[in-house]
């Protein structure tokens, strides 16, 4: 059961949610149409629903006291309990707390989403965050030319953000285009820390050390060792390199525009690539045929980071 003590939230407020007969795709966007409502609910003026997913809804809102536009991520308490996701929400709050307390010593933290406020009503848990323009997934699918123009800068920002997470003991574990948001100044914000691993102390993760064996993330962006655990549980743990593997998958999608194809369509594709890479044929993996030599080297280089620092894990992956 979620409680005020565990969540450390402010006082309960009244928040009236707007229902939508046809939920929007899960893509937060800055409101650019006439709002569906201007009614003031507690400390916020709710403008409109932005997105609806399995666990939460995103609402565009205005902080009445400051006139600041925010995104409210709203979780229904009953759904959290029914689906067993309470601990994930608590974990996400703890990650945001660490980000806030550590941001001064991590320059790359400016590319990580910050939690402006968290509170609860009788029926809901709410996160208040900066309102973003869109996410990378949306741009890849709807504005590929614009996305490709910014690919180099966004890639660098994502890399800095991942490094900042690792510097304070956090593995994101779900790096993918839908979790990479773009603000109105066209800069990256890595978001959604519900699946993240967090070390007890806010210290840099050791690049040769494994920290978790939990099977979590999005399959097409999962590193081989996580997938191997799904097939055959082992005692070997994975570490920070799983985020760099996922980053390599994101890089491929950025560089393969306008076709916009995922590097791996399934877990079997990922394991097939592992075999190619181990036999020194990684650059000739079929998916790379549409990329230039420099672009291929970049994607392979980022993904290979996993193998370079975890040779023993590579062995467990390729030996049946």
- Using pLDDT thresholds of 50, 70 and 90, give the confidence band for residue 181: very high
22 pLDDT above the threshold of 90: no
Asked whether the predicted pLDDT for residue 41 surpasses 90, the reply is no
Q: Give the C-alpha separation, 225 to 236, whole Å.
A: 9
Indicate whether 95 pLDDT > 70: yes
The three-class DSSP label of residue 284 is helix
Rounded to whole angstroms, how far apart are CA atoms 155 and 174?
A: 16
Q: What is the pLDDT of residue 156?
A: 94
Pairing of strands 124-130, 68-76: antiparallel
Q: Is the pLDDT of residue 313 over 70?
A: no
Pick 257 or 34 by higher pLDDT: 257
- Residues whose CB is less than 8 angstroms from the CB of residue 163 and which lie 6 or more positions away in sequence, other chains included: 108
Beta bridge partners of 170: 198
Contact assessment for residue 194 and residue 236, using Cβ atoms and an 8 Å cutoff: no
Q: How do the domains of the chain map onto residue ranges?
A: 4-130, 134-318
d(CA 295, CA 148): 13
- Residue 265 is predicted with a pLDDT of 87
According to the model, what pLDDT value does residue 306 have? 53
* pLDDT for the residue 38: 58
Among the listed ranges 16-20, 31-35, 133-137, 295-299, which one has the minimum average pLDDT value?
16-20
Residue 300 has pLDDT above 60, yes or no: yes
pLDDT single digits (tens) 192-233 = 999 999 999 999 999 889 999 899 999 999 998 888 877 776
Higher pLDDT, residue 283 or 25? 283
Which pLDDT band holds residue 240 (cuts at 50, 70, 90)?
Answer: very high
Residues in Cβ contact with 185 at an 8 Å cutoff, skipping those fewer than 6 apart: none
Which of the four pLDDT bands, split at 50, 70 and 90, describes residue 263?
A: confident
| Range of weakest confidence among 23-37, 97-111, 301-315 | 23-37
Residue 125, H or E segment: strand 124-130
Helices assigned H by DSSP within the chain: 4-7, 77-82, 86-102, 136-142, 144-149, 151-167, 224-231, 241-255, 267-278, 293-309, 311-318
- Alpha carbons 128 and 154: distance in angstroms, whole number: 24
What is the per-residue pLDDT for 189? 97
Residue 26 has pLDDT above 90, yes or no: no
pLDDT the model gives residue 82: 73
Q: Buried b vs exposed e over 2-23: b needs ≥16 C-beta within 10 Å?
A: beeeebebeeeeebebbeeeee
Measure the CA–CA gap between 86 and 19, rounded to whole angstroms.
23
pLDDT of residue 44: 85
CATH of domain 4-130: 3.30.200.20
Phi, psi of 267 (to 5 degrees): -65, -35
Q: What local confidence, expressed as pLDDT, does residue 11 receive?
A: 41
The CATH code that applies to domain 134-318 is 1.10.510.10
pLDDT value of position 283: 63
**Of 34 and 156, the one with more pLDDT:** 156
Lowest mean pLDDT of 13-27, 45-59, 274-288, name the range.
Answer: 13-27
Helix (H, G, I), strand (E, B) or coil at 127: strand
**For position 30, what pLDDT does the model report?**
47
Q: Give the residue from 124, 35, 138, 148 showing the smallest Cα distance to 76.
A: 124
Give the whole-angstrom CA distance, residue 299 versus residue 287: 11
CB neighbourhood size of 312 (10 A): 9
Give pLDDT tens digits for 140-154.
999 999 998 999 999
CA 153/CA 139 separation, integer angstroms: 15
Which of 319 and 146 is assigned the larger pLDDT?
Answer: 146
Question: Taking Cα atoms as reference points, which of 25, 46, 168, 48 lies closest to residue 107?
Answer: 168
pLDDT of residue 28: 46
């Amino acid at each position: 059961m979620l409680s005020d003590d565990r969540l450390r939230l402010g006082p309960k407020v009244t928040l009236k949610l707007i229902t939508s007969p046809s939920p929007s795709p899960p893509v937060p966007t800055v409101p650019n149409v006439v709002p569906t409502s201007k009614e003031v609910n507690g400390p916020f003026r709710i403008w409109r629903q932005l997105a609806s997913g399995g666990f939460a809804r995103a609402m565009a809102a205005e902080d009445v006291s400051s006139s600041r536009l925010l995104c409210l991520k709203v979780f229904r308490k009953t759904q959290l309990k029914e689906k067993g996701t309470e601990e994930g929400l608590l974990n996400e709050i703890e990650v945001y707390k660490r980000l806030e307390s550590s941001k001064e010593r991590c320059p790359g933290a400016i590319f990580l989403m910050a939690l402006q406020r968290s509170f609860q009503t009788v029926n809901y848990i709410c996160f208040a965050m900066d309102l973003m323009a869109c996410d990378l997934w949306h741009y890849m699918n709807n504005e590929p030319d614009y996305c490709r123009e910014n690919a180099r800068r966004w890639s660098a920002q994502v890399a800095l953000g991942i490094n900042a997470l690792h510097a304070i003991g956090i593995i994101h574990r779900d790096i993918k285009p839908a979790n990479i948001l773009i603000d109105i100044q066209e800069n990256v914000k890595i978001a959604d820390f519900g699946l993240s691993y967090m070390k007890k102390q806010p210290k840099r993760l050791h690049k040769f050390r494994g920290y978790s064996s939990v099977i979590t993330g999005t399959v097409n962006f999962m590193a081989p060792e996580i997938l191997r655990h799904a097939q055959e549980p082992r005692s070997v743990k994975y570490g920070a390199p799983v985020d760099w593997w996922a980053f390599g998958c994101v890089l491929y999608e950025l560089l393969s525009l306008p076709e916009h194809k995922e590097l791996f369509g399934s877990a079997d594709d990922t394991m097939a690539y592992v075999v190619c890479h181990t036999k020194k044929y990684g650059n000739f993996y079929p998916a790379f045929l549409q990329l230039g030599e420099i672009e291929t080297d970049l994607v392979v280089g980022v993904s290979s980071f996993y193998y370079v620092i975890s040779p023993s894990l590579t062995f467990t992956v390729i030996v049946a």
